[in-house]
Structure formats: C-alpha cells, structure tokens
Structure 1
C-alpha cells in the first residue's frame, strides 16, 4: 500500500444454487487465498451467497436465514484477514427484501449497500422478489447484536490511507443513465466496486468492458467488477464470470469468460487523486454520504500490473500506426493553419537526423494539405565540423526524394571567423565551440527565411526540451515548432511509420538509414569518419528520460515512485544504479533548464504531455530542485 498502490481482487466462486453453507465455505477459501496473495480489496459477485438464479426461492425464509447465517460465519472468519470484503446476498430490512452488498473487515460488518436499480425486462425479474434501495437509509441489527447502516450512500474510508475511499454499486446500477457511482465519486470515492451477475449474450462482453472502462475514465476512479459465473443455474441463462479491474479508463486486468477464479491487479490510488486535483472540472460536491472507517496494515504491495517502458508508444501495432497517422496529421494541420495565415513558405534545416527528418515530413504533408508545390519548402543542409558523410548523404537524398528546394551552406568558415572575433581557440572543444555552430545554423535559417518570405520550422522534440538539450537561441528557436510536444521515443515510430507507408523505395531506404543512425548533434569532429558525439552517451537513454518525463509531468509522481516503476519496467535492460543515475540527471536538468522552455515558439500539442509555457507547463524558471534531489539521494 506504499506510494498509493493497493492490491484488489475480483472473485468468481463456482457456487451451488441455494446451498448457502457450501457457498460460504467456498467464499471463505477464496477470501483466504486472496489475502494470501496480498489483496486488500476483495469483491465477490451479486447474491453469491445464495446464487443469483434462485428465482422464487428468494421468497423462502429458510434461504434468507441461511444467507444471513453464512454471512455472519464469513464475518467472524474475516477477523484474522487483513482486507475489506464485499459479498452479495439477499437481506430483509423493515419487512422488505433487498439485494445487498455486505461490507465487512476484521470481523466486523461495516454496512449493507442495497441495489438501486432492479432490472425487470427481458430475461430479468428482480422486481418480483426485491425492492429498490435507492431511498433506503436505516440501520439494521445483526444476529451478533451489532447495529450497522443500510444505505446506498456509504463511503468506506481507510484510516491508514485516507485517499482510499470506496463506493459500492450492484450490477444494473452501472447500466443506467445515472449510476450511483457518479454520486459516490463526487463524494470522494476513488475506488468503485460492482457486485454483478451479468448473464452472457453475443457481443455483451464488449459493451460491459466499455461500460467499466468508460465509467472509470469519466469518474477518474478505479473500478472493480466481479460477476457471477459457473455454478449459477443455466435453466435459461449462462453466466461467464467476466471480471474486470480498470483504472481511469485503462483495463488493468480482465478474466477469461466462462470460468471462475480470482482476478488480481494493483490500483494506484495516488495517481487517481493526482488526476482529480489536476482536473479542475472534477468537483467533489456531494455531501450526503456517510463515511465509515476501516483499517488495513500498511505493507509493500508487489506490483504485477503492466508498467509499460514506453508509455508514449502504443504496444499494439494497429493502434500504434493509427496513433502515428493521427499525430502526423495534428502536426501538419497546425502548420497548415500557420502557413495559410501568414502566406509564407517554409525553411527547414536538415541534418540527416531523426528530428529534422520528421519536421521535413510534416512540412511536406502540410504543403500537400494546402495544395502547394514542395518547391516552396527550402531544405537547408549546413555541414560543419562534426558532419559525417552518412548524415550528409541522407539529408541530400531526403530532400531530393521529397522534391523540396535544396540549399547547402557550409558553416565552417563563418564559425571560424566568429571564433576569431570572440577569441575562441578552435582546438578547445567546449560548450562555446558546440553552441557557436548551433547558433550559426539558426542565423542562416532565419536569414534565408527572410529572403524566401518563409517561416523557420523548428525541429527540436519534447524530450530535448525536457532535458534542456538545445542551444538557447540556437536550435531552441524557430517560427513554428512542429515537434515540440513529440517525445523522442515517438519520433522514431513516426519516421518508421512514414517509411513503412510512403510507397517510395528511395525515400523509405533513406528513412530506414536515418532510423539506424545514432542520435547526435554532430558538433564535435568525427572519428574515422563516424559520429563521435552520441547524445545518449552524454545525457542518458531517451527511453528512460521519456519514462521519467511521462510519470513526472503526466502523473505527478515523486522521484522515489518513478524509480520504483522504472526498475520494474526496465528490468533486464538497465541496472538499478544506472536508472537512478539518469533519473538524477533528468531531475537536475529539468529544473535547471526551465528558462529555455519559458520562451518556446508556438507549436501544436499532440499528446497528454507538453511543455508549452502558454498552456501545459507554467513553471518558474528559477524553481529549486532541492526536494526532488533530496529524495533521490535517499534511494539506492
């Protein structure tokens, strides 16, 4: 439960209809197994103590008493189990029968939550046996003498982890226009549980999945859905045990249908609460709920949920290709508007590297959208002291393949004159040596843009901006920065997608070779004709930095939590000490280089993380990294 993680279980027992003693023993075994595996929130299906399909047996006193006796047995046995449990049963209250979720922990019933919406259509006849609990608000005396609330609007709050606030609804409640989970979330519930008995029909699983995923997304909550399965009567219906655990729209775990068992995943309550803080339109305003406290031991939660090492890049190829095409279109449409508004042409500096390649591809697409000749794009190569034949040749081939106007300006002479003017020894390969080249190139691009009535198209990407890996007023500056919100890991996939789909062999071959070229600013002389300055040797692997960037800006995680997740995500790829080293570098540079991001040029936002000072990252340029570095220095 540290760092906001809590393990949850959605459980489907293979019950026997109307056999409450058998069902109680089976449920108890699964309670014990769930807690042995570290689950702290354990959810069972609707009416699982009796079976959902008892029909008119629900009118039998013997069944109702059997269910009550079975519940009290489970409650007593839970005294030694460290979890909160949700079990469904029929329960008589004030002379009426309700379909309820019994909530208990450590040998104590915390409350009974009744079902609000009773389906009485098609194959469902719940109103024949039960009454709605939408307006129920009372107390019930249990056989052990305890008095507990019976109310739809109950919130179960963990004393040791106050952000863990659980709301309950039952099956059909979710399928209605105004589910109780909405009011639960507005009252502060970060986790929603659903005890369900949803029968299986062709195609229903997709809709069920979308309901759970969508509800968790719009409520910025976790959603644990436990449904009835094998063991229910198949007289007219089949129940598949389709269990789902979702978090803010993401399906964390999903069971195979037509079976039984326990589904596990870990919920990140801290992440959910951070998202709610960020979302100013999420207003907690419902004050009608009653809060009931429960206790859990604070223990380390072993994470089994997927920690994607590339959070910006979809793992599924079809989704990835769709995302790439969408991003290229967003970039191009942003530039198209700027070109139409200004009536300008475009100037792009082409190095033969990934970023400038993507910028040129986007510019070409924007010109196509405008219906303009590619000759309105001036593509400029500016070989310098570090340029290699490979990158130069790729730059030339790229420009030729795309039909842009080719311009070459060798910067070596101009930079040497500049060195002489400022008294820089050309043999000293320091930051002045490097940045003088970057600024000379930017000056050339800006001046050619004046001559051509054009805009200088920026090439720098999100990852470079996060690290400040850009020369201030050099490659840091442009007139429209098309790559400014595209992380480096995604740049690579965008270029590859273009190469895979362009149907031009020469262009594809060139793009594949660009992809195979080490990332480098090429500001230091080559060694034996090969790139001597590899960016990732200097600032660390971009896949690590993009991971850090996502979890710091998108999720607001602490350095210790990011480190924990990174060790899991990159297990077998990088050693822990290596990850920590570059996480320290990321945090240090992120704070120190904000002044470069505070004056960024315009550029289109394409994803959920961006650093534009006008919308996404309003951060003082002189903020201190002390708290972050102190925490990092405690890690090992």
Structure 2
C-alpha cells in the first residue's frame, strides 16, 4: 500500500478551521469532452472564492459510460488536452475530477486532483464492475494504491464509485491517513437504489471512523438515468446532507476540522421521494435527455386511449413541454368510441397538438393486395399485425418529415412475452416505459393524476385491449397482469427457474406458458428501441440472452 501526500498552497492550518467542499452534481454529455471541460471550468471560476474544493462525478470529462469511445486513441488525446486546459484556467481552487488516463500501456479510470493550476495527484479506480449494465473490465485496468492529498492541512482520500461497494479501498485510504473520503460516482438509477447506496456508505463510514462525501452524476444516457441524490455522512454514519434528485445541483458541504477530527456540519437533507415519484422522474429525465441530447425537434406518439400511451404522453409532455409533443389518433374498424374520446381528453388535458388519421383505407388496401395470398386461410393474428404496421408507417412518416422522434408505448410485461408487433407498435426511436411492468404503469398513472388530472378514470378502470379484433381484451391472450408480472419478476429479474416459481404457488401451466413466451421472443426484444432502465434487470444491455439456444 502506498500513500501519495501532496500539500497545496493553503496547507498550513490553525488549530481549528472550516473546510468548504462543493458537490458538482452535474449532467455531462458523453463524448463532449470540450463542452464538459468548459462546464467544469465555468463552475470553478464562478465559485473559486466561495469554496475550497469542488468534487465532480466519475468520468466527468468524458461523460459516463463512454463505452467503445475509450478504444479510440484520439478520444484519449482529447481528454489529455482538456485536463491541460482545466489546469491552465483554474489556479485558485482545488478540483477533484473523473477521467480516463493511459499509463504504462494500460487505461485507468482516474480521479485526478488539480490544485494551484497543476495536476498534483491521480487515484486509479480499484474495483471495476463487470455485471448488470457495467462493462468496465473491457476497458480499464484496476489500480492498487491508496492516494491521499492535503487540503488546508486535512488529509483527503479518494475512491471511485464501485470502490465504496467493497470494504478494502476505503480501509486502505483510512490506513494511508485519510481524514475525509471523497467518492466520485456514476451510479445509475433503479428501483430501491438510493436507500441502498446510503446504507452502504453509512456502513463504510462507521467501519472506518471517517466522514464520506458521495458525489453522483445526474442525467440520462441512452437506457441509463443517473439520479443524483449526492450526500455526505459523518464518521458515525449519520446522514448530514443530501442533494436533490434528478436535477443538477451544486451544494456545499461545510466541515469543522481540528487536529483530531473532521466533522461535516449538518445541513439540508433533501427528502427521499416516494418510489412512484422516483420512477416517474427517472422516466421524465431519461426521455428529456435522449431527445434533447440527440438533437430531435420533439416527439410523436400514437395515442390509442389505452393506459400505456396515456402514461407515455404524460411523461413526454412533462419532459419536453406540450409544444414539443404531438399525438396522432389512428382508429380502426375495431376502435371503440370511448377510446377516441379518452385519447382526445388526454391530449387536451396536457395541451398537446393532436390529429386523427384513420387506418381503414390503408388496412383495406393491404388486405386487397394480399387477397390472393390469403385466399382460403382464416383471419388470425396476421390481420391484427397489419393494422399495427399501418400505424407504424404513418407515425414513422410523420417522424421523418418533422424531425421528431417517435416514442413507442409498449411496457415491460408486453415486451417480455412478445405481445407487440415488429415494425408496428414497436416501430420508433425510444421506448420510455419499456422497463415498466403493466401493474406499475397503473401506479404511475395514479401518481401522475395526483399532480394534475390528465388520464381519465375510465382508462384506468376498463380492461386493457389492443383493439385489433372484435371485443378483444389482453386477458384473452395473457394471464391477468398481477399474476403475469409476479412470474416475470421472478424469472427475468431474479433468474428463478420454473420449478422454484411453481413451488412459490403459481400454476404450473401458467408458469410454463409465460416462460415459453419470454424465451421465444428474445428476437423481438433485440430489435426493440432502447428505453429507460428502472428495474434491477432491464432488457438490452442489462439482460443479454442469445437469440438462438436450446430452450429447456
């Protein structure tokens, strides 16, 4: 174990002082190295006389996760130039910044310390996560040394994200003389994650008798949403500060320091949101950043009068503003009048532009074109899928013409069992509720209605239906959603085998049918647009199954 101890221009301190450390809970754009560096510099120059140090999130200069951009030499060269720029422009303040760094032919995930206009210390992340959505062993080599630095006479230790989830790095830093531990994070949201993080960091603080400042990234990046919620705990593990969730925030943690101790002064503790509120805000932030960061002019949604499209519309309007969202009603011969009425009511309640384009002319044209091919064959799911694909063509045409992204409206329950049409209702660029089980869809609708009534009660009360056949209901094809979602949670998120699920009390034939549907429809999910991850195990980069395999 090695400790790097460096003293800045304020190293000598009196017997008692106050240290002010700012948490830079910011939203960075992956790949925008120059823009991210400028954001760091601007904050530093603005606050250089108000604080002693600013702590930024993990890989702040590149954005997180940069994925295979890290394999491009020019990408790393741009990072090096950005660090030089930061050093040249910020000389009155200590900055702790995350970035990638090549050393001895290896790439490391680094927390670097800039002080007095110089890079005075670099800590290499020890623990590289390689599970769930994380793939860091593909890119980085692990570090092995503890690094501390001196700020106004106080020894500060460094760790990066996953390091805090295991005991060794914090203990090494403490043994190297750290009196305060800084932890730089890019920790993505999923249900239950925020309390889990805090409990873990509180344990690390108690185990080592050291206060910890936890700085987290905020913002949407493809499927991931980083929820912020940065915080500080004292050496006893008591929470003394918590920043806002799902928004940029730059609070300052004040610490009283003497020769024996460093004690954070209790400050504002942002209340924990309800689970429904956290999920809803994650979906809003994920949609906003995907649309805005990718340069779309707004969003298009096919509005059916059903619960899924109603929730998707509310999320989009809250994320982008009503003027950036438009919806299209596309009734068929099977669409109930109440569906059209409810869809119009939803659009009007949210103040979004809407129009009606019936699909009957296109549907009839396709049936006529295919009449010889279909001769003598009964009507089945083929005709249902044609209707869905007529809608997909209409929506994608409008999306192409106006430069607005098409948001799909399918939920996790449907995507799990393949209750969706390729190139039909699956057509689009982003899937906001792709990882939201159907039962949670209803809960989120009720939550959103609690803010302002935008989804008619009738939508939440009547049986869900795709309305692609006479008197059709989802329950004609699927188990009731409360049962289906429990089976899916066990099989998809907990990796339970069929026997364990049956033993838990579920009907054998239902379990076998559901699992068979999940396994057979991986090919559909592989072709689905990305969507916001909110559960512990989302489809896509999180749960990766082969398309071709022997189903047991």
Which structure would you say has the larger Rg? 1
TM superposition score normalised by structure 2? 0.50
